[in-house]
Every structure is written in C-alpha cells, then in structure tokens.
C-alpha cells in the first residue's frame, strides 16, 4: 500500500495545547458535554493549509491506496452530480436510502453491526462523534448506492482519544479530528465495542483495521453563509455526511406544516455536529442534522428520523452556519471504498440483494 506523508510534523503551540486541556471543555450539562469544541486556532490554520495543499482530485484516488484529502474541484462536483443521480434512481425504484432505514434492512452479508449513532455522554468528545456519525451514515448510504462495502460502523471515542494523545480531558477541533479520521481511521464497533466512556485496553491491536475504514475528507471551501447553505444542500443530496462546529444551539424540535421535524435554535454551545441525509417534501428541501446527545428531539416526523436529530430547511441552515466559520471548514466524509461512483442500475441491483427497505 502506498504511504502518504502525514501531518504529525506540524507542532502545536503551548497556547493551542492549553486550549485543548481547558477544564471548561469537560463541563456536563443535562448529562452531556456541550462546550467541548475548540475554535480554530494557529495550529488548525497551519494544519488546514497543509491538508488542502496536499489534496488530490477524486478521480485520481487509487482504491488500494490510503484515504486522501480530496480537493473540491470540477471532478468532485461531477462526483456529487453522479451520486445524486444514482440516489434519485434508487428512490425512483422504490427504495429508501435514509441511513436509519438502510442499516436495519441490510442482510448479515452486508452488515457487521447495527450502530448508526450514540450519545457521547459525559466525555468532551463531540468532535469525534460528529465525524464518526457522518462516516457511519455515509457508509450506509453508499451501500444503498451499490458500493462494494460492508457496513462496519465505528465507535468514535477511540479515534478522538488518540487525537487527544491518550487523554479523556479537554476538547478538540474540527480540523484536527478530520486529520485523525483520515490518517488513523475509524475503529469498527464490531471489534472495539460501543462503550463511549472508556477505550478498550486492546484498542492498539485494531489499528490496522481502523485504517482500512479511514475516511477520505474533502474540506468545503470557505464562503458567505448563503453560498455555504447551497453547498451543504448539494453535498447532502449526494448522500455524503458532513461534520462541523457552531455556537448556535439546537434546543428542541417542532413539526412543520409538511409533517417534518424541524430543528429549533435557542441558546448557545461550542459543539460539533453534522448532517447526513436529504429530503424534499412538496417543494421544500431539508437536510438531516444529527447530534451526539441522544434522543432529545421528539417532535413527530413523517420521514422517520430517529430522535437523535432533526431536519433543517434553508433558513435554519443559514442560522446554524452563522458561527460555523469560527470553528474551521466543514468536513465532508468520503468512505475509502467509494472513489468511483457506480451506476444507478447497479445501485438498484445492490439494494435488492442487500434487502433494503422500500421507501
């Protein structure tokens, strides 16, 4: 396997280290940490510059090689269009590609574990969970697309723990966790279990397996809020999970006139969250937002999303993105097994073979 230079040579300043060990990151509110995301700092700026500077065109990704940092360029935009067309073909054939429908309907030939998401509980590990849940959802959707993949979801605690140098204390940043899910990988829950409080003592034995499930990462270009809203919708239409940080808290949920559960903004936090699905109901477009605080969003939803998340329309996306830039760029997960889109026909055949749920 080809070896790509990592980013471990970038040295973290004492200020950056101190910010990542601040006890304020560990404060628990209503059973969970909600202020454990670090604003982008000098280390993150240098790391992001190196990651984007080393990015490759997605069409040049060799399947047998390491998971790369992927450039947002014309080739990636074409990749988004092709995935979107394929997902539309899956829908037209009568199959659901929402990850919460895909996972339980997969036969054991395609699934090693049923986990999609779980609460981070009292650990300040939201950065790891935002990227891990995005990976799990994208893997499930990619199987619905006909990708030759096994659904083997990750326990996000382990990669986050490694990114912290083996510490459970203090928060983490978006760009740093993006680096680690790309370089170290995602640890399959089928091997390391689902304990989100304590890392198993033998986790080092599974480093090679984690690397096999590493995420290719594309960093969304920076830009005005309305441009970011449209980019988020385009990526969600293509069935790719995203992770990001913001200050605007989702405090509750409500059901709109279309019967869709909407996120309700209120209050503040320093928190990493993500998006992992897309829907159109009548003429309204929605992006599925997901948190790592457990089933807290209980308004009715005709789309069946679990109570771990809610939907965002354009207005709510704009609200949540107002403060996102301060935490760095939005990370987009591209699973290692999906550098080349499959045809819509192949996706439909895979859906039937895997036992996917009907829409």
Residue 65, classed as helix, strand or coil, is coil
Quote the pLDDT of residue 239: 96
| Termini Cα distance of the chain | 40
How confident is the model over 305-333, as a mean pLDDT? Answer: 98
- What is the C-alpha separation between 46 and 54, in angstroms, rounded? 12
How confident is the model over 63-86, as a mean pLDDT? Answer: 90
Would the pLDDT of 118 be above 60?
Answer: yes
Q: Is the pTM of this model over 0.85?
A: yes
Domain chopping of the chain, boundaries = 27-354
Contacts of 245 (CB under 8 A, 6+ apart): 37, 127, 130, 173, 174, 270, 271, 272, 273, 324, 326, 327, 328
Q: Which residue has the tokens 């980019």?
A: 231
Is 42 or 353 the better-scoring residue by pLDDT? 42
- Percentage of the chain exceeding pLDDT 70: 91
Q: Contacts from 12-18 at CB under 8 Å and sequence distance 24+?
A: 12/43, 13/41, 13/42, 13/43, 15/41, 15/42, 16/41, 16/42, 16/43, 16/44
Separation of CA 268 from chain center: 21
As a whole number, the mean pLDDT across the chain is: 89
Would the pLDDT of 109 be above 90?
Answer: no
CATH fold group of domain 27-354: Cathepsin B; Chain A (3.90.70)
State pLDDT tens for residues 170-209: 999 999 999 999 999 999 999 999 999 999 999 999 999 9
How confident is the model over 16-25, as a mean pLDDT? Answer: 87
Contacts of 353 (CB under 8 A, 6+ apart): none
Q: Are 297 and 263 in contact (CB under 8 A)?
A: yes
Quote the pLDDT of residue 7: 63
């Amino acid at each position: 396997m080809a070896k790509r230079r990592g980013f471990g040579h970038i040295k973290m300043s004492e200020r950056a280290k101190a910010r990542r060990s601040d006890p304020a990151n560990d404060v628990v509110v209503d059973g969970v940490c909600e202020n454990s995301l670090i604003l982008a700092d000098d280390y993150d700026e240098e790391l992001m510059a190196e990651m984007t500077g080393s990015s490759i065109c997605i069409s040049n990704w060799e399947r047998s090689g390491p998971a790369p940092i992927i450039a947002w360029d014309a080739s990636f935009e074409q990749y988004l269009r092709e995935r979107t067309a394929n997902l539309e073909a899956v829908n037209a054939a009568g199959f659901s590609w929402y990850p919460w429908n895909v996972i339980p309907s997969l036969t054991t030939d395609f699934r090693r574990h049923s986990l999609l998401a779980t609460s981070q509980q009292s650990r300040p590990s939201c950065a790891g969970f935002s990227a891990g849940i995005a990976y799990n959802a994208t893997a499930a959707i990619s199987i619905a697309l006909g990708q030759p993949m096994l659904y083997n979801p990750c326990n996000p605690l382990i990669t986050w723990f490694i990114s912290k140098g083996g510490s459970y204390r203090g928060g983490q940043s978006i760009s740093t966790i993006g680096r680690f899910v790309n370089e170290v990988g995602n640890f399959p829950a089928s091997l390391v279990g689902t304990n989100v409080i304590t890392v198993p003592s033998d986790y080092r034995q599974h480093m090679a397996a984690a690397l096999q499930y590493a995420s290719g990462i594309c960093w969304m270009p920076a830009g005005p809020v309305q441009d970011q809203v449209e980019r988020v919708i385009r990526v969600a239409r293509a069935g790719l999970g995203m992770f990001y940080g913001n200050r605007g808290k989702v405090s509750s949920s409500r059901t709109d006139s279309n019967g869709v559960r909407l996120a309700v903004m209120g209050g503040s936090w320093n928190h990493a969250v993500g998006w992992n699905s897309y829907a159109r109901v009548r003429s309204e477009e929605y992006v599925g937002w997901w948190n790592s605080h457990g089933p807290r969003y209980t308004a009715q939803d005709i789309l069946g999303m679990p109570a771990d998340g809610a939907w965002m329309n354009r207005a709510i996306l704009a609200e949540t993105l107002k403060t996102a830039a301060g935490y760095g760029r939005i990370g987009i997960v591209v699973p290692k097994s999906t550098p080349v889109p499959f045809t819509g026909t192949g996706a439909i055949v895979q859906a039937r073979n895997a036992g996917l749920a009907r829409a």
